[in-house]
Amino acid sequence: MPRSLREVVFVDGVRTPFGKAGPKGLYAETRADDLVIKCIRELMRRNPNLPPEKVEEVAIAATTQIGDQGLTLGRTAALLSGLPKSTPGYSIDRMCAGAMTAVASTAGQIAFGAIDVAIAGGVEHMGRHPMGEGVDPNPRIVAEQLVDPSALVMGKTAENLHDRFPQLTKERSDAYAVASQDKLAAAYAEGKIQPDLVSVATRSAAKGYGLAVQDEPPRPGTTIEDLGALKAPFRAHGRVTAGNAAGLNDGATACVLAAEATAKELGLPIKMRLVEFAFVGVEPEVMGIGPVPAAEKALAKAGLRIEDIGLFELNEAFAVQVLAFLDHFGIADDDPRVNPYGGAIATGHPLASSGVRLMNQLAAQFAEQPQVRYGMTAMCIGLGMGGAVIWENPHHADYGKEG
């Protein structure tokens, strides 16, 4: 039977403050699933026009699906969030792009007409579950030279990217990292980050109970000189350091997606419209280049050019990876369209959760800048992949029109 695809919109999104992984971090004694449950409950609280029974799918991503990040997390989180027992859910793993893939997957369900409303998100508790915990890579991957051994260590792939593009110097990476810290500090000072955050009660055997209300990783006031003194852990005389890369972090995100007609019927906000998305594979040894072909594919499918994109939210796994994207498209390192609120180098990068953080921030920037019609969220993905999503601004005068 012939059918028409439906438009999919981003209704709302939230996240926990991001914490530092480890025994002294904000969430050292907080369960991973409780972080994403908090996000789902907050979404329902903020959107009283959304009846719980209207949520027809919950897709939650985690890179390390073990312990309190395992057991079909989308379903267990839905049950523990108070959604009806009739609400199904599932888990997703596409490493760093887990939440981005959760959004793309549920958007496909909505566009196809299988469901009307979904919740998508991600969580990563790297303090409890370090990346790669419990995995057993097939030895043939290296033995048969399918990839270089460096492909299995993300920091080494970033060093490889520096090798491949010599113009991407450590000095440029450090300058970009300092700018990320400065932009996030400014965004906090102007109250632009706080609306996305849901406060989380924390506990510590040593410190007692607390309340997480802002990100723990940022280092405001960081200077080029500070970064120049840091060691390069992945290679002697290397260029990748803790200062120009995202750290090891804990945190969760979640968002509501809906068919545009359903959102209007229920009186839900429409913050963005999904235009196109693409995921691609690249050489695992230089996985940081992934967003480039992903963006090119998404743009081609949408009939757009890079010049049509007025705002970019690029995940900063490593500064060099963002610089590779900017150089490829002829965009300046300090272009104001790129990560206006700072990025993961400052905010933190709890792996599978970060895709929705990018979307939250782009939605806020759309509201600030109605003259911008299209924006993009993009990220590199471990084991050699890239993802990109193009969104349309509902505040733009031509929203929803052809061309």
Q: Are 96 and 290 in contact (CB under 8 A)?
A: no
Identify the active-site residue in 125, 129, 162, 349: 349
Q: Is the pLDDT of residue 403 over 70?
A: no
Q: Is the pLDDT of residue 355 over 90?
A: yes
Mean pLDDT of the 306-324 span: 98
* Residues near 107 by beta carbon (within 8 Å), at least 6 away in sequence: 8, 118, 257, 274, 277
Reported residue count of the chain is 403
Tens-digit pLDDT profile for residues 203-239: 988 888 999 999 999 999 999 999 999 999 999 999 9
Tens-digit pLDDT profile for residues 156-197: 999 999 999 999 999 999 999 999 999 999 999 999 999 999
Distance of CA 10 to CAs 14, 18, 39, 223, 255, Å?
12, 22, 15, 37, 7
Identify the active-site residue in 125, 328, 380, 396: 380
Tens-digit pLDDT profile for residues 6-58: 999 999 999 999 999 999 999 999 999 999 999 999 999 999 999 999 999 99
Q: Is the pLDDT of residue 260 over 90?
A: yes
Q: Is the pLDDT of residue 1 over 80?
A: no
Q: Which neighbouring-strand residues pair with 89?
A: 58
Tell which wins on pLDDT, 137 or 349: 349
Give catalytic status of residue 39 as yes or no: no
Identify the active-site residue in 96, 125, 129, 162: 96
- Tell which residue, 35, 44, 80, 87, has the closest CA to residue 62: 35
Residue 25: predicted pLDDT: 94
**Mean pLDDT, the chain, integer:** 96
Mean pLDDT of the 297-315 span: 98
